Amino acid sequence: MKYMFEIVCLLLIVGIFVLTQVISNQFYFFIGFVILQYMVLATAWNILGGYAGYVNFGSAGFLATGAYTSVALINFLDIGLIEQMIIGGAMAGLLGLITGYLTLRLRGVYFAIATLALAIILETVVAHWDYVGGAAGTSILPKRKPELFDIMIVDRKTGVFANYKEYLFFLMGTVAVLSVWIARYIEQSKLGRGLNAIKDSEEAAECMGVPTLRLKLIATTISGAMMGVAGAPLASYLTFIDPLSAFNLEYAVNAIAMPMIGGTVSWMGPVIGALLLGTAQQVSSLWIQSELNLLIVGVLLVVFVIIAPEGIVGWFRKSRQGSRR
Amino acid sequence: MSEPLLKIEGISKHFGGFTALNNVTTHVNPGERFGLIGPNGSGKTTMINCVSGLLRNEEGKIIFDGRDVTDLKPHKRTGAGIARSFQIPRPFHTMSVIENLMIPAEFVGHHRGDKYDDRAESMEILETMGMADKAEDPTTDLTQIELRKLELARAMAAKPKLLISDEAMAGLTGQEVDEVIDILFKMNERGITIIMIEHIMRAVMRFSQRIICLDAGQLIAEGTPEDIMKDKGVERAYLGSTDEDG
């Protein structure tokens, strides 16, 4: 069926909504949000890193752009979460476009360094910007009774969601499904094939009629925007935000590690990687020790680089091809 | 005589203080088999990089098919009808052979609008190359000559008016060289103008109708293969090394 995937996407969103209505233990939404956020981040990273071969080491910078756009918007206009996510995404997308322009001559490790530098510059700027809390950070109190089209969204008795954790979980779940849909769409489109050609040989791609600059800018913009959307609700989720948490290196590392472990060639890779690594990290940091999760990333990365350099998806594909021969 | 397909008007290219191309003027006629020779470092690859757009010449103009393409990006020039192969093969290595051809087939897209089968068209090109059986193979499995043929096949998939073959035969055996020449002859018979850059003199002399020779960025000779063979300047440029290749 032609729209099978779209139907599954819709069902997933409905399923996520049902979960928020059925489960009452807030704790699951608390950790579920983080895993879903990583899924968006990893999927976004993979559009540029996996399809086009440009390794972005500054994912935290794009995520924080979304987060701090929200903080500024809350301070300035007191607008709702969905608007924050849209504007935060737009800002991060714009940042992606600018990054693309500034780094268009850089390849390989130089591009990675440039993106890392970008994140550090942004962190410095935010740390000195008192309106959004500066280096000390700021507390964010979500709207007491948010409404959307006259429907009460969050209220213990009359709202669609009983509390903010459920609402945030639902929003991030929807965004995750949408980003995976976008990634899959790109992968199967002319854009995806062009990005793949760029990854293999940029000069050959250009000489074979691929408008490499335009495709790269589209990729940096979409990837940046998705990261911004993922970051926009961060302040509301944590109810407090400072540069250290928004620009955390963990975001940058996980955004790379998750697609690498899952497999960068397909949209499924980042999803699998985020589910696996995200869950492992949450479980270990909550039940065992909070410092353990970085160790887990490190060990898993080393293991995968050795036994399955093309990630879980690549490994499955290879073993399937192997058995056919 | 008809208007040349490609006119190169006084192009120069410098890399820092080094002059790679110095005021080169030449032209290629429609349907012509054109040879470009010169010793190592004489500016052959720089010249075709300027023609294909990977490098921008600082002075002079490049006119293709009656249109000034000097300021066009490479992909636009490919769209206009200039396609090239690379000296060191640069296949899209994560794709299969036929997928390599489908990139230019899709992106150059002379067939936008009507129902056109990129795959069938690509397959046809592979057949003329004798590579149809390799269509679904990953490019990492290909041998040297197959990689060279893939370079030419992929350039053909862009449906060019002008094909630039950059040392497609370097490092191949005598028999393989003949095979590549035959392919280039076949393409030429279909009306495609071909610029051949080659060190293998036997191949250039057999293939070309007209040859130019570059030395240290300067055009030093132009003429039929016979003229070039007799030219004292060319002999000097090569320091007699032409004998080696026949």
Q: Which DSSP string do the residues of B32-78 spell out, in sequence order?
A: -EEEEE-STTSSHHHHHHHHHTSS--SEEEEEETTEE-TT--HHHHH
* Confidence class for position B109, pLDDT limits 50, 70, 90: low
Length, in residues, of chain B: 246
In tens, the pLDDT along A264-282 reads: 888 999 999 999 888 888 8
CB pairs under 8 A between A and B: 79
CATH of domain B6-95+160-245: 3.40.50.300
Pick the residue from chain A with its C-alpha nearest to B164: A207
Q: Is B94 on the interface with A (CB under 8 A)?
A: yes
Q: Does a structural domain hold residue A316?
A: no
DSSP secondary structure of A211-224: -HHHHHHHHHHHHH
Look at residue A197 in the predicted model and tell me its pLDDT.
Answer: 94
Going edge to edge, which strands form the sheet with B6-15? Answer: B18-28, B6-15, B59-64, B67-68
Task: Kindly report the backbone phi and psi dihedral angles of residue A222, in degrees, each rounded to the nearest multiple of 5, phi listed first.
Answer: -65, -45
Strand-pair category, B162-166 with B193-197? parallel
Q: What is the 3-state secondary structure (H, E, C) of A34-74?
A: HHHHHHHHHHHHHHHHHHCCCCCCCHHHHHHHHHHHHHHHH
Q: Which pLDDT tens digit goes with each residue over B172-195?
A: 888 889 989 999 999 999 999 999
Inter-chain CB proximity B54 and A210 less than 8 Å: no
**pLDDT score at A78:** 77
Strands (E) located in A192-310 = 240-241
Report yes or no: B124 at the A interface, CB cutoff 8 Å.
no
Note the ipTM here: 0.86
SS3 readout for B132-174: HHHCCCEHHHCCHHHHHHHHHHHHHHCCCCEEEEECCCCCCCH
| Residues 6+ positions from A37 with CB-CB distance below 8 Å | A172, A176, A230, A234
Please give the mean pLDDT across all residues of chain B.
87
In A, minimum Cα distance to B74 occurs at A207
Write out the two tokens for B111: 């067939």
- Number of Cα atoms under 13 Å in the Cβ half of residue A197: 30
User: Could you tell me the CATH number of the domain that includes residue A214?
Assistant: 1.10.3470
Assigned token pair, A45: 């990273």
B119 touches chain A (CB under 8 A): no
pLDDT number for residue B230: 85
Query: Is residue B78 scored above 90 in pLDDT?
Result: yes
pLDDT of residue A322: 64
Q: What confidence tier does B246 reach under pLDDT thresholds 50, 70, 90?
A: very low
Phi, psi of A119 (to 5 degrees): -60, -40
Partner residue opposite A196 with nearest CB, options B92, B104, B155: B92
| A319 lies in some domain | no
pLDDT above 70 covers what percent of chain A? 95
For residues B11 and B63, the answer to whether their CB atoms sit within 8 Å is no
| A150 touches B at CB < 8 Å | no
Q: Which of A200, A208, A213 sits opposite B78 (nearest CB)?
A: A208
- Which residue of A197, A203, A211 is in closest CB contact with B103? A197
Give the pLDDT score at B110: 57
B108 contacts A206? CB cut-off 8 A: no
| A274 domain residue, yes or no | no
A107, A268, A313, B53, B138 from A186: Cα distances, Å? 22, 13, 18, 28, 22
A285 domain residue, yes or no: no
Mutate to test the interface with A, among B50, B55, B75 (most CBs of A within 10 A): B75
Q: Is the pLDDT confidence value at B111 over 70?
A: no
Q: Do the Cβ atoms of A230 and A172 come closer than 8 Å? A: yes
Cβ of B138 under 8 Å from any chain A Cβ?
no
DSSP letter (8 states) at residue B112: -
pLDDT at res. A35: 93
User: Best of A105, A208, A212, A213 to disrupt the B interface by mutation (most B CBs within 10 Å)?
Assistant: A208
pLDDT tens readout for residues A180-222: 999 999 999 999 999 999 999 999 999 999 999 999 999 999 9
Q: What pLDDT does residue A85 have?
A: 92
CB contact under 8 A, A209 and B78: yes
Q: Mean per-residue pLDDT for A125-140?
A: 83
**How many domains, chain A?**
1
Comparing CB atoms, the residue among B52, B79, B92 nearest residue A197 is B92
Report how far apart, in Å, the C-alpha atoms of B121 and of each of A192, B101, B102, B142 are: 21, 9, 9, 21
Confidence at residue A323, expressed as pLDDT on a 0 to 100 scale: 60
Do residues A240 and A142 make contact, with C-beta atoms less than 8 angstroms apart? no
Q: What residues does each domain of chain B span?
A: 6-95+160-245
> Residue A108 pLDDT > 60, yes or no?
yes
Mean pLDDT of A60-75: 91
Q: What is the pLDDT of residues A224-249, one digit of tens each?
A: 999 999 999 998 888 888 888 889 88
Residue A250: pLDDT band by 50, 70, 90 thresholds? confident
Does B94 sit within 8 Å of A265, measured CB to CB?
yes
Closest Cα in chain A, distance from residue B139 (Å): 11
| Cβ distance of B92 and A190 shorter than 8 Å | no
| Cα separation, A46 vs A266, whole angstroms | 9
- Yes or no: say if B223 and B210 are a contact pair by the CB < 8 Å rule: yes
Residue A293 pLDDT > 60: yes
Closest C-alpha among A284, A276, A283, A286 to residue A312: A276
Tell whether A211 lies on the interface with B, counting CB pairs under 8 A: yes
Residue B55 pLDDT: 92
Confidence of residue B33 (pLDDT cuts 50, 70, 90): very high
User: Token pair of A210, please?
Assistant: 């691929």
Q: Cβ of B158 and A209 within 8 Å?
A: yes
* This prediction's pTM: 0.88
pLDDT reading at A37 higher than 90: yes
CA distance A49 to A57: 10
* In a domain? residue A276: no
* Record: contact A207-B94, CB cut-off 8 A: no
Tell whether B109 is within 8 A of chain A (Cβ).
yes
Structural domain boundaries, residue A123: 4-248
